[in-house]
Amino acid sequence: MSKLDLSFNDLQSEVPKGNLSKTLVITLTSINAVVFSVSVLDVIVLIRKKLRKRHESQLISTTEELYERVSYHALSNGTNGFSEDNLLGQGSYGMVFNTQQSGTSRSFVTECEALRRVRHRCLVKIITCCSSINHQGQEFKALVFKLMPNGSLNGWLHPESDTLTQTNTLSLEQRLHIAVDIMDALDYLHNHCQPSIIHCDLKPSNIFLAEDMKSANKTLQNWNSATGIRGTIGYVAPEYGEGSSVSTQGDVYSLGILLLEMFTGRSPTDEIFNDSLHLHKFSENALPERIWDINCLLSVVSLGISCWKKQPRERIPIQDAAIEMHSIRDSYLKFAR
C-alpha cells in the first residue's frame, strides 16, 4: 500500500502523546521477558535431561565395572536348580543358596550404589549380582555373597542331630563373641551409615559364621521408612503389625529375641511356649550351675530383656547395648580363665 486517504471519514479523536509508544515498549518488553524466560527454562530442562542421562550412563558404566555379570542360567546351574540341598536360609526378603561359580572374582564390592559405603568386618561381603529373567519369564534378581564356611547361626543353635558334641555346639565364650559381633554390626548400620540402614529381619538364619566362628550379618534390607510388616514371626517388632514404619528400634527388639535364643537354645516359636511360658520366663530358669556362668547369663538375659520391650521408646539404644555386651564378654573372659 503506497497511499492512504482518510479525507472522507468522520473520525474524531485526540492524537496520543507518547503513551502509545510507552505501552508498546512495556508490552513488548514483557513479551520478550516471557520468551526469554521460556527459553532459559527450555535450556535448563535440556541441560538437566542431558546431565541425568549422563549420570544414568555413568551409573550403568560404574555398575558394569564393579560387578561381574552373571546370568540366571549360571546361578540356576550353580545351585542345581535352586535345590533345597543348597538352601542355607530363608527370610521375608528372599532365600539364601550355596552356589559354585567358576571364575568368580575375588574382589569385594559394595551391595549397590545406595550401599556403596557399607563396609564392616561383621557384614557379609558381596561378590556379584544378577538381574535377569528366569525360565518362567519372570524378573529375577540376586546378590551373590561370599560363602561363610560354618553356615548359619541357626544351624548351630538348632542342630539336626540330637546328639550334642563339641563339633556341633557353641560354647558360652563363642556365643559371647558372636553376640558382640552382631551388636557391633547393628551399631554400625544404625549410627555410622548415612542414611541409617535398618535390617528388618534379624534372626539366626540371617547370621553366618566364618572359619574363626566370628559372625557376619547379611544386610539385604530396606533403609527407608516404608510401612507394612517386616521380618519373621517370633522376631518381628509388635509395632510393625500395627502398621508402623520400620525403625532402628524394631531391630533392637529382634536383637533381644535373638540374644535370649542364643543363650537358651530355644527359638521364640518353640512348641514348648504357650500363654503361661514364653522365652522371657524360660530364659530366667535356664541358668547353669557355675557362678561366673550364672552372672554372665544373668547379664545377657537382662540385656536381652532391655532390648525386648513392647514400646519402642523403652528399648535400649543399640550403641549402649553394644558397649554393655562388650563389657559382659570381657568380664566373663577375665574371671573364667
Q: Pick from 78, 211, 203: which is nearest to 150 by CA?
A: 211
Asked if omega into 288 is within 30° of 0 (cis), the reply is no
CA–CA dist 26, 22 (Å, integer): 6
Helix and strand numbers, DSSP H then E, in the chain: 8, 6
Dihedral sign for Cα atoms in the order 315, 181, 202, 271: negative
For residue 196, the 8-state DSSP code is -
Residue 43: CA count within 13 A, CB half-sphere: 6
Residue 227: CA count within 13 A, CB half-sphere: 5
Helix or strand holding residue 126 (H, E): strand 126-133
Helix or strand holding residue 47 (H, E): helix 19-66
Q: Pick from 200, 199, 177: which is nearest to 188 by CA?
A: 199
In single-letter form, the type of residue at position 41 comes to: L
Dihedral sign for Cα atoms in the order 171, 176, 177, 178: positive
Q: Pick from 113, 64, 65: which is nearest to 223 by CA?
A: 113
Instruction: State the catalytic residue, choosing from 181, 184, 201, 251.
Output: 201
For residue 5, the 8-state DSSP code is -
* Cβ 259 vs Cβ 307: under 8 Å: yes
Verify whether residue 5 is a known catalytic residue.
no
Strand partners for 245: 227
Q: What is the Cα Rg of the chain in Å?
A: 32
List, by residue number, the catalytic residues.
201
